[in-house]
Amino acid sequence: MTAEPEPEDDPPPEAEKLPTGRLARTARVGGLVAGQGVRWAGMRTANRVRTPERAAAAQSDRTAALVHQLVDQLGQMRGAAMKVGQMISMVEFDGLPEDQQDELQRKLAALRDDVPPVRFADLEQLMRKELGGPLKRVFSDFDERAFAAASIGQVHRATTVDGDDVVVKVQYPGVAEAVETDLRNATLLLPLVKRLAPGLDAKALAAEMRERIGEELDYELEAQNHRRIERLLRGHPFARVPRVRTDLSTQRVLVSEYVAGERFEEVRRDGEAERDRYGEIVFRFFFGLLYRDRIVLGDPHPGNYLLCPDGRVCFLDFGLVRDVGADRIDGERGIALAVRDKDAAALKTALRTAGYLPGDRADAVDADWALKLMRMAIKWYAVPGVRRFSPEDARNARERPDRPRPDAEQRAATKTQMNQFTLPPEALLIRRMHGIVAIVLSQLRAGADWGAIAAEYLHGAPPATPLGEAEAAFFAGRRAA
């Protein structure tokens, strides 16, 4: 089977132009902030006369309503507004029960999946301008029906005049202008983000989002990232990156090699051994680029890879990319090592060094509590041991009948400690990558000793699997050459 989904005969009725007007987009965000500010103030006033339990329930309900409305309104706007929603999917929302956390994470993830394509007629004029003339000068055939759509662009199949089968990603007309407005409006969201996660440095996080989203608008920059990663992995034994046509790519049009393969939903129906191998390749691709090459890919969405007929997995989309420094990688390694060794004191030091626990707040955090928290979060890749992921993992953990329910005092103490932590802006895409890879492995129901595999990249451990041995031989050969 190939990567080409069943096309639609006509654009769906919900396909529409972007709301690009600066006043319209600002009014949407401003109205959201103002309305929620009034409701939040009303909730806090009412909580003064409520019992602690009723006050906590009211704050939970208000937080859920705030985030749902934030997601709904941002999702209607595409562009950077939608990207902001996707990026805050890594934020832990204060006072929100775990079941609602999961529901909101799914809703945030769906911002990418539920985007209707834009009519081809709205794209053709942009492509003519970008390519310097009619499409027939560049393509002998161009399928006007999009087979993928995302927040800032959509993808079409085509054949070049020299006979190459390619995919063409085209930026939505007007999206760059809309994004500029959204990036300015991002500062309006800071009070909401601060309410949802009091420990965050919201201004620094907003600056990181502005930089990353601004870069994602530039398809020429994406083509450079794409080409660099393709060269790093050219000839790799189990991972493939399609070649990019830099000669045909522009700031708003990106052309790359077409690759046939099974989509993620097809792989999910394969047998256990096939799913395990596929999951290990996905894990190795993203963890290897991060901890070996210091490149974090912030969008490891399952729609961005294909299982090729030769058994390799082809990886797509290099728009959300960040180079990270050696200090950041050392910090992440230190945290994983302390979690593996159950060393609470070393973990607290590593969290401070890596910027997750500001020094002036560290005394408020109990080291043993921090270790328990981090083991829950990253044990799956930090600690060796065979584990088979299941979509029911998180639900089963919450529904254990023997799990004691914290009282009001315990909840308040936990909240106080949680609010001491922050998310360093340069770690945003790392946390996003780790989280989405774990979700993908859960959807695959994949099993492996993820901790032993990760140790190859984190701590220089010897290969833990045949795939690890093949990769080690590949890079050894590259170094020898």
Residue pair 259/3 in contact (Cβ under 8 Å)? The answer is yes
Q: Could you identify the residue written with the tokens 């230190």?
A: 334
pLDDT at residue 5 tops 80? no
As a whole number of angstroms, the distance between CA 298 and CA 112 comes to 13
Q: Residue 317: left if φ>0, alpha if ψ -120 to 50, beta else—which one?
A: left
pLDDT value of position 30: 57
What's the average model confidence in pLDDT over 460-476? Answer: 97
Q: Does the CA dihedral 302-308-313-319 come out positive or negative?
A: negative
Question: What is the spatial distance between Cα 190 and Cα 209, in angstroms, rounded to a whole number?
Answer: 12
pLDDT band, very low/low/confident/very high, at 7 (cuts 50, 70, 90): very low
Distances (CA, A) of 273 to 269, 289, 309, 314: 11, 24, 16, 19
Q: What pLDDT score does 15 carry?
A: 40
Mean pLDDT, range 163-168, rounded to an integer: 96
Contact 256, 166 (CB under 8 A): yes
CA angle 206, 211, 216 (to 5 degrees): 120
Average pLDDT over residues 341-363: 95
The pLDDT of 326-347, averaged and rounded, is 97
Q: Taking the model in full, what pTM does it have? A: 0.78
**Which tokens in the block code for residue 354?**
């890596």
pLDDT interval class at 10 (50, 70, 90):
very low
Alpha-helical (H) ranges within 202-325 are 202-216, 219-232, 264-267, 272-291
- Residue the block writes with tokens 């009001």: 408
CB contact at 8 A, 230 and 262 = no
CA distance 168 to 127: 10
16-25, 314-323, 386-395: range with lowest mean pLDDT: 16-25
Question: In this structure, what token pair is assigned to residue 465?
Answer: 């699997």
Which CATH number does the domain 116-171+218-258 belong to among 1.10.238, 2.60.120, 3.30.200, 2.40.160?
3.30.200
- State the average pLDDT over residues 340-366: 94
Measured from the Cβ of residue 376, the count of other Cβ atoms closer than 10 Å reads 11
Residue 100 · residue 70 · CB < 8 Å: no
pLDDT score of 415: 74
Token digits of residue 429: 């895409």
What pLDDT score does 165 carry? 97
pLDDT band at 390 (very low <50, low <70, confident <90, very high): confident
- Give me the pLDDT at residue 81, please: 55
pLDDT at 219: 92
Mean pLDDT, the chain, integer: 80
Instruction: Tell me which range, 5-19, 39-53, 157-171, is most confidently predicted by mean pLDDT.
Output: 157-171
Q: Domain map of the chain by residue range?
A: 22-114+176-214, 116-171+218-258, 326-480
C-alpha span between 153 and 151 (Å, rounded): 6
What mean pLDDT comes out for the span 81-92? 56
* 261 pLDDT higher than 90: yes
Q: How confident is the model at residue 397 (pLDDT cuts 50, 70, 90)?
A: very low
Select from 125, 344, 87 the least CA-distant residue to 207: 87
Q: Give the pLDDT band of residue 303 (cuts 50, 70, 90).
A: confident
CB count within 10 Å of CB 157 equals 20
Please tell me the least confidently modeled range out of 56-60, 272-276, 384-388, 438-442: 56-60
pLDDT number for residue 197: 67
pLDDT bucket at 65, cuts 50 / 70 / 90 = confident
367 — pLDDT class (breaks 50, 70, 90): very high
User: What dihedral angle (degrees, nearest 10) is formed by the CA atoms of 67, 114, 178, 430?
Assistant: 70
User: How far, in Å, CA of 149 to CA of 5, rounded?
Assistant: 12
Give me the pLDDT at residue 470, please: 98
Q: Which of 429, 458, 452 is nearest to 213 (CA)?
A: 429
Write out pLDDT tens, residues 411-461. Answer: 677 778 888 898 898 898 899 899 889 989 998 999 999 999 999 999 999
Please report which confidence band the pLDDT of residue 1 belongs to, taking 50, 70 and 90 as the band edges: very low
Q: Which of 39-48, 130-139, 394-403, 420-429 has the lowest mean pLDDT?
A: 394-403
Which stretch, 70-79, 201-210, 215-224, has highest mean pLDDT?
A: 215-224
